[in-house]
């Protein structure tokens, strides 16, 4: 097929790819998991059988195997017309997507100190794709770029200024592609232009963040220097007292253990002692499991607190938007969160909350609610495909 766009999203041991046609209709997607391990494997949507990968297969082998399936399925000619890469950290260098060349690669490497777990694997994905398709335009789309409109008062920490000046210690924000998609979709649903639409966008997946979008621009967001700050997440703590680091050091906990504790063992998993998966937690809570009930309460209360905090950045609010696996699917989380926000005039319609989407164009607020509340499925891959098309072939973007 002519003019296809390949979207690549690399994790440390995973690789997600999606293939779009020139009109940005999704043709297929695939996922490789457990890369670098003995039992690496891949799956492609619509193919019941797993795709064989060599033991210890790396990102390049996985990409090559998935691309071969797309070719065999007749979805991809020799090569796509462009490739869009999700890159987590663009620092202050990238305010928008960038056509990848050696300078852009060097700048992404420079940002790696800000995202040591993410940028190096994103670079591995770019290198793998460049090796496979050396003559095809590759575009980097940054999680941080949408938040480069944050005002100084929102991005500065109250720290000695040399930390910012010398090392770039500031709040950057993440999930930018999803929040940007929410801004555009909410405007479309509300019959407005993005430039006049102000929303609070809550992206609730395994990672969670919330953003105040004022007249189309990110004005405040809950994630900071790293994707650890802010809301309660699947395994991440979100906000803690910075005094905790000293306290734990005095208990003999080493820095790398603190890192693991806050990133991998906290959040819903840490509170419940059972799982980071909200759907399972809701089932456990239903059966009277108290730590799971507590985890859900803390999650929703922190989220509601942040909705209140985001109000400080807006001069009007067109809608509060829920997205991500939890935001799109958990009526319980939405209901509990909104229950904390009655003073602002939010109410919820239980029927709409339960059946959102099918009967309401995503609307779930009660008739008397002061503000609209929308549930909108996110589509980060589409944003990356659109950006790749726009950057790689200016004038052809749909």
How far from chain centre, in Å, is Cα 391? Answer: 21
Q: Point out the residue whose Cβ comes nearest to ligand ADP.
A: 325
Place of tokens 């082998």: 61
Identified binder of ligand ADP from the candidate list 137, 205, 238, 362, rule CB under 6 A: 205
CB of 205 to ligand ADP, least distance (A): 3
User: Which residue in 285, 283, 301 sits closest to 293, CA to CA?
Assistant: 285
The token pair that represents 267 in the structure block: 């959040």
Identified binder of ligand ADP from the candidate list 11, 234, 270, 362, rule CB under 6 A: 234
Q: Is 149 exposed, middle or buried (0-12, 13-18, 19+ CB in 10 A)?
A: middle
Site string for ligand ADP, 281-320 (x = CB under 6 A): -x--------------------------------------
Identified binder of ligand ADP from the candidate list 206, 264, 293, 379, rule CB under 6 A: 206
Distance of alpha carbon 381 from alpha carbon 383, whole angstroms: 5
Is position 239 annotated as part of the catalytic site? Answer: no
State the CB neighbour count (10 A cutoff) for residue 74: 9
Identified binder of ligand ADP from the candidate list 176, 270, 324, 362, rule CB under 6 A: 324
Q: Which of 133/174 has CB closer to ligand ADP?
A: 174
278 part of the interface to ligand ADP, by CB under 6 A? yes
- Choosing from 102, 143, 246, 350, the catalytic residue is 143
User: Which residue in 380, 222, 245, 219 sits closest to 306, CA to CA?
Assistant: 222
Residues paired with residue 321 on neighbouring β-strands, in sequence order? 201, 374
Identified binder of ligand ADP from the candidate list 329, 337, 353, 391, rule CB under 6 A: 329
Per CB under 6 A, the segment of 3-11, 204-212, 239-247, 357-365 that binds ligand ADP is 204-212
First-to-last C-alpha distance (Å) of the chain: 18
Q: Which of 219/232 has CB closer to ligand ADP?
A: 232
207 part of the interface to ligand ADP, by CB under 6 A? yes
CB of 174 to ligand ADP, least distance (A): 11
330 part of the interface to ligand ADP, by CB under 6 A? yes
β-pairing verdict for 199-204 and 208-214: antiparallel
The token pair that represents 236 in the structure block: 């991440």
Residues paired with residue 7 on neighbouring β-strands, in sequence order? 18, 84
Which residues make up the interface to ligand ADP (CB under 6 A)?
205-207, 234, 277-279, 282, 324-326, 329-330
């Amino acid at each position: 097929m002519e003019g296809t766009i390949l979207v690549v999203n690399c994790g440390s041991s995973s690789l997600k790819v999606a293939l779009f046609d020139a009109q940005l209709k999704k043709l297929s997607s695939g996922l490789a998991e457990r890369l670098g391990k003995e039992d690496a494997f891949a799956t492609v949507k619509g193919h019941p059988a797993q795709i064989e990968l060599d033991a210890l297969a790396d990102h390049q082998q996985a990409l090559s195997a998935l691309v071969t399936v797309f070719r065999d399925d007749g979805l991809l000619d020799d090569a796509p017309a462009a490739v869009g890469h999700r890159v987590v950290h663009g620092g202050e260098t990238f305010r928008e997507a960038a056509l990848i060349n050696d300078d852009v690669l060097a700048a992404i490497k420079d940002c790696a100190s800000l995202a040591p777990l993410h940028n190096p694997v994103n670079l591995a994905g770019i290198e793998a794709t460049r090796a496979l398709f050396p003559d095809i335009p590759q575009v980097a789309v940054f999680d941080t770029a949408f938040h480069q409109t944050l005002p100084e008062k929102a991005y500065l920490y109250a720290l000695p200024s040399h930390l910012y000046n010398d090392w770039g210690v500031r709040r950057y924000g993440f999930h930018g592609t999803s929040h940007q998609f929410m801004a555009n979709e909410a405007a479309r649903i509300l019959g407005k232009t993005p430039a006049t639409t102000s929303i609070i966008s809550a992206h609730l997946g395994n990672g969670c963040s919330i953003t105040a979008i004022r007249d189309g621009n990110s004005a405040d967001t809950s994630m900071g220097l790293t994707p650890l700050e802010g809301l309660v997440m699947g395994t991440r703590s979100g906000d803690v007292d910075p005094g905790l680091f000293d306290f734990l050091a005095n208990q003999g906990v080493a820095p790398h253990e603190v890192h693991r504790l806050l990133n991998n063992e906290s959040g819903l998993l840490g509170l419940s002692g059972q799982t980071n998966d909200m759907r399972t937690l809701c089932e456990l809570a239903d059966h009277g499991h108290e730590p799971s009930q507590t985890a859900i309460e803390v999650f929703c209360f922190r989220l509601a607190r942040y909705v209140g905090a985001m109000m400080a950045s807006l001069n009007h609010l067109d809608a509060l938007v829920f997205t991500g696996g939890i935001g799109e699917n958990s009526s319980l989380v939405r209901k509990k969160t909104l229950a904390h926000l009655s003073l602002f005039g939010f109410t919820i319609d239980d029927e709409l909350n339960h059946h959102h989407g099918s009967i309401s164009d995503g609307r779930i607020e009660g008739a008397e609610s002061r503000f609209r509340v929308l549930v909108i499925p996110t589509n980060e891959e589409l944003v990356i495909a659109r950006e790749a098309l726009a950057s790689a072939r200016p004038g052809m973007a749909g």
